[in-house]
Structure 1
Amino acid sequence: MELPRVLWLAFVPVFVTVVSIMMAQLRTTFSRTTKQSPPPPPVTVGAPLLGILPALLTKGLLQVIRDAHAEMGSVFTVRLLHLKVTFLVGPDVLSHFYKGLDSEISQDEVSQFTTPTFGPGVAFDVDFATRREQFRFFGDAMKPAKLRTYACLMVREVEEYFARWGQCGTVDLKQELEHLVTLIASRCLFGEDVRAKMLVEVATHLRELNDGMRLVTILFPHLPIPAHRRRDRARARLGEIFSDIVRSRKASYPDGGPDVVDDMLQCLIDSRYKDGRATTETEVVGMLVSALFAGQHTSSSTGTWTGARLLARANNKKLCAAVQEQERIVARHGDRVDYEVLQEMDTLHRCIKEVLRLHPPAMMLLRHARRSFTVRTREGNEYEVTEGRTVASPLVIHNRLPHVFRDPEKYEPDRFGPGRGEDVAGGAFSYTAFGGGRHACIGEAFAYMQIKVIWSHLLRNFEMEMVSPFPETDWNVVMPGPKGKVMVRYNRKRMS
């Protein structure tokens, strides 16, 4: 039986509405299923199978990266044999690199090459949960309350060291600061029993550890080259020295108590994991080596570069500004240098910060993409970094971007001063000398303190002149520093 005409007229609008909704849903579903993912980053053109290896041998890694950045922009991939590395340059594309969860972007897979240096049972030889707990053991020793107690120890060590200098003379500033920084770190963090063994032997072994962490080490950490053999001998000897110290400390304070030494060494010995397990001797030794290795190289290298920059003739006005600041502080506080006084040294702080921009302690930072992620450049281009890819942030390029830092090749500490603040104006992760995000360096404040103590003393007590050429950078190691000697002539003075 046919429906009355009036019912048909009432049904038609309903039918049209239902069909429209269904078609809209189908279009949305089709759009979602056909929408393409962003393209992968552009890849450098290289030789078949070899990739950038020929260019790497002729130009060096730094120039290869610079050329690729100039040609392809802030996101690009280079191929070396079987390995592909995606480089992210600039604050616009680094948020996930520094802030992503460890389950998404990790250090573990790309940092295994450090195990021969640091030893078994610590750092990247353990899972992330264990490593996080070990970092927690270090963390308490770097809190402001502890830093206040370290300041006077640093000052005493610096005064004793430079008291051995004569009225005038010529020294290798690089070697002097390597020894001094090792002594400072050992006195502040590991007590007198460690410090007594530090002046020559341990400083020498730490230098051999750094020299043994070459660029080739990242790919082949056990390659039988002379630098690796020296590294392994140095690590074995440091293990013997520190094991004796740990056993001696345990024998001296078997039950803890009020007379126990309050330093990082004792903290590491007394530390307990969340499951109640105590740290082993091997773990304590490995953590001592890793702490001294990272701190000694970064601070001695940065301290040397600070001297080289301030003593360069082109930077005479910067040197005068730093000296004048010390004169003003002496006028206010006399010879007192402590935690509070160090906080007033803004000019010196900016001088060091600018050194770290131009001479970061690492050429690049590495991560492993455990999941794919998308980056968007400041020009609006989107790229997908695929799961399993090695990802790099090249600090040596990142810290010299002209759209972030004005005249980026120029040594200009005032770029961080009031009214400019270029590191802030450029956005988050514009300045990453100490890393950032989830893996920011916990020793940053300690490093600044000891370099300021050293240069505060030198600026107050000596007139200095660099008599060797401005040093080149040793790009053959993972943690580059000044290449060769940095010779400085000094004359002792009295502050007026």
Structure 2
Amino acid sequence: MEFPGTWCWCGAVALVSIIITVLSTKNKNSRARHPEGTQLTPPLVSGPDLLRLIPTLLSKAGLPAVFTGLYAKYGSVFRVSFLGFKMIFLAEPEVTPHFYHGLDSEISHGDLYEFTVPIFGPAIGLGRDIATRNEQKRFHFDALKPSRLPGDFAPMLQEVESYFGKWGKEGIVDLKFEFDRLIMLMACRCFLGIGEEVREKMFDEIDALFRELAKGMKLASILFPYLPTPLNRSRDRARIRLTEILSDVVETRKRSGRVEEDTLQRFIDSRYKDGSPTSVEEVVGMTISLLFAGKHNSSVATIYSAACLLTHPTYLKAVIEEQEQIAKKYKGGIDFNAVMEMEMLHNCMKETIRMHPPSLALVRKAHLPFTVQTKEGKQYEIPQDHPVATLIHVNNYIPYIYKDPHVYDPYRFGRERKEDIAGGKLSFMSFGAGRHVCIGEGNAYLQMKLIWSHLLRNFELELISPFPETDWSNFVGKPKGNLFVR
């Protein structure tokens, strides 16, 4: 599971700090020189360049524009190093294969995501040794493997129809609030089952606790996860209460002997290689991590999909026509196969996620040195024990892969163009890749397509809010403000 954005904000802090250090480090900011034919040290971003980017950082364009500017000047490999902060940044598919596909013994998260331990608990992830962590990763992959998606279709559809069935025929709603709540309902249904103990009695409290947990993902909590700050104390109280609620759910399920077709049951039934079962604490921690990731990433993508579709009438008309054709083919109803045929809607969702990825970058630590080669043929050495980041946002806007990358154009993923395929492997990185690919990609698309299929077939929507800016102060970029539609 990925936790994006964190070290991008570390970079932002370091960037601001350059004001007081640029003069003293000026002489150290030259590129390393090597004999011809040897590997190069990645170019070091100069202090003056960082200083000039501060106004951009503080503007509406923000951190994405900062990284885009550095990429434009320094190329696909560059480094930042001062005040104890150091990072090598990679952009373009040609230089990222090892980042995504290297063995954990060669490159991994290391301890860079220590801040997740207080959020999900010490029983999973970085709270455990790497062998246990890898087995828990296997449990996650098994619980969310694509072959299980047809089984998630019916409960997801029921949640969508039930939720929107409570809307009136007309009015004004905040889609940001509505989508956030609906996606949490869908996640709870698929991950925790349909038991009354969760669905009727506890949802509102669980939803509120996850909101409190998310507030602890601000920069200060990421950098100093164990300081007794108000945000950290609120985060800790929320996790303790969530653990109490979900532990009771797990123990009740075990005592009853009831077997459900949901993710919670799969975690309960999981076994380590030595035959030992998962503990209640481990099941709870893995469930919290999935709910957390599913709620926030899917919610952000669905909100931005609304903003994109409702501001592009040509594509809105195309997806409505597609829904009409599918409704006619399936005689007014839809099933899993019908959703898989929603090609235009899928491409609209994918284009939204390309332009508004939930993360700016992903971070690893190189445990062994390795070499990257740019498309121009230059080779750069990545030293041992050095933090490395891939710039997802930059990668998604590369013009030699995506024509007019700043233009919302879902047809770029259509059968005629397939720009992400033509661009080669690692061209579309919003869901990661390799050993740390987002395991919830299929679930995310299914959620979004079910929501939008229902809305397009039953409502006419008009956006009355401005297109939302992105708040990158959280580890997942979130739309600012409300998203009102009529």
TM-score (norm 1): 0.86
Q: Identity rate of aligned residues, in percent?
A: 49
* Aligned twin of 2:307: 308
* Residue range with higher mean Cα deviation, 168-177 or 63-72: 63-72
Moved over 4 A (4+): 34-37, 50-60
User: What per-residue deviation string (whole Å, max 9, x for no partner) do you get for residues 279-302 of structure 1?
Assistant: 111111111100000111111111
* Aligned twin of 1:283: 282
User: What per-residue deviation string (whole Å, max 9, x for no partner) do you get for residues 46-91 of structure 1?
Assistant: 38xx999977974654343222212211100112520211000010
Q: Does 1:394 align with 2:391?
A: yes
* Aligned twin of 2:446: 449
CA distance in 1 between counterparts of 2:58 and 2:325 reads: 51
Displacement after TM superposition at 1:370 (Å)? 0.5
User: What per-residue deviation string (whole Å, max 9, x for no partner) do you get for residues 68-124 of structure 1?
Assistant: 212211100112520211000010101111111111111232222211211111122
Displacement after TM superposition at 1:230 (Å)? 2.8
* Aligned twin of 1:274: 273
What does 1:38-57 correspond to in 2, within 5 Å? Answer: 38-46=39-47
User: What per-residue deviation string (whole Å, max 9, x for no partner) do you get for residues 429-461 of structure 1?
Assistant: 000111001211111111111111110000000
The residue identity in structure 2 corresponding to 1:252 is S
Shift in alpha-carbon separation, 1:57–1:223, aligned structure 2, 3 A: farther
CA distance in 2 between counterparts of 1:370 and 1:479 reads: 26
Q: Does 1:211 align with 2:215?
A: yes
Displacement after TM superposition at 1:207 (Å)? 2.8
1:110 pairs with 106, 109, 112, which one?
112
* Aligned twin of 1:261: 260
The runs of 5 or more residues in structure 2 that have no matched partner are 1-34
Q: Secondary structure, in 3 states, of the residue corresponding to 1:108? A: coil
Question: 1:215·1:476 contact (CA, 8 Å) conserved in 2?
Answer: yes
* Aligned twin of 1:129: 131
Q: Secondary structure, in 3 states, of the residue corresponding to 1:424? A: helix
CA distance in 2 between counterparts of 1:272 and 1:83 reads: 40
CA distance in 1 between counterparts of 2:143 and 2:451 reads: 21
CA distance in 1 between counterparts of 2:201 and 2:345 reads: 31
2:317 pairs with 320, 324, 332, which one?
320
The residue identity in structure 1 corresponding to 2:44 is V
Q: Does 1:424 align with 2:421?
A: yes
The residue identity in structure 2 corresponding to 1:243 is S
CA distance in 2 between counterparts of 1:63 and 1:226 reads: 31
CA distance in 2 between counterparts of 1:210 and 1:53 reads: 29
Q: Does 1:251 align with 2:255?
A: yes
Shift in alpha-carbon separation, 1:325–1:182, aligned structure 2, 3 A: same
* Aligned twin of 1:471: 468
Q: Secondary structure, in 3 states, of the residue corresponding to 1:384? A: strand
The runs of 5 or more residues in structure 1 that have no matched partner are 1-33, 254-258, 490-496
CA distance in 1 between counterparts of 2:261 and 2:80 reads: 49
The residue identity in structure 2 corresponding to 1:250 is K
The residue identity in structure 1 corresponding to 2:473 is N
* Aligned twin of 2:245: 241
* Aligned twin of 2:22: none
Question: 1:92·1:376 contact (CA, 8 Å) conserved in 2?
Answer: yes
Question: 2:471·2:479 contact (CA, 8 Å) conserved in 1?
Answer: yes
What does 1:107-256 correspond to in 2, within 5 Å? Answer: 107-193=109-195, 194-197=198-201, 199-253=203-257
CA distance in 2 between counterparts of 1:399 and 1:53 reads: 21
The residue identity in structure 2 corresponding to 1:126 is R
CA distance in 2 between counterparts of 1:419 and 1:148 reads: 28
TM-score (norm 2): 0.87
Shift in alpha-carbon separation, 1:128–1:120, aligned structure 2, 3 A: same
Question: 2:191·2:291 contact (CA, 8 Å) conserved in 1?
Answer: no
CA distance in 1 between counterparts of 2:282 and 2:53 reads: 38
CA distance in 1 between counterparts of 2:146 and 2:90 reads: 33
Shift in alpha-carbon separation, 1:199–1:317, aligned structure 2, 3 A: farther
User: What per-residue deviation string (whole Å, max 9, x for no partner) do you get for residues 188-229 of structure 1?
Assistant: 221123333564322232233333223444432234444333
* Aligned twin of 2:3: none
Q: Does 1:98 align with 2:100?
A: yes
* Aligned twin of 1:7: none
1:365 pairs with 362, 366, 390, which one?
362
Q: Secondary structure, in 3 states, of the residue corresponding to 1:383? A: strand
CA distance in 2 between counterparts of 1:381 and 1:109 reads: 30
Q: Which has the higher contact order (CA 8 A, sep 6+)?
A: 2
* Aligned twin of 1:350: 347
Aligned length: 448
Q: Does 1:335 align with 2:332?
A: yes
CA distance in 2 between counterparts of 1:384 and 1:409 reads: 32
Q: Secondary structure, in 3 states, of the residue corresponding to 2:247? A: helix
CA distance in 2 between counterparts of 1:286 and 1:53 reads: 40
The residue identity in structure 2 corresponding to 1:371 is L
Question: 1:270·1:279 contact (CA, 8 Å) conserved in 2?
Answer: yes
Q: Secondary structure, in 3 states, of the residue corresponding to 2:173? A: strand
The residue identity in structure 2 corresponding to 1:143 is K
* Aligned twin of 2:10: none
CA distance in 2 between counterparts of 1:142 and 1:43 reads: 41
Q: Secondary structure, in 3 states, of the residue corresponding to 1:459? A: helix
Q: Secondary structure, in 3 states, of the residue corresponding to 2:432? A: coil
Question: 2:351·2:409 contact (CA, 8 Å) conserved in 1?
Answer: yes
CA distance in 2 between counterparts of 1:416 and 1:236 reads: 44
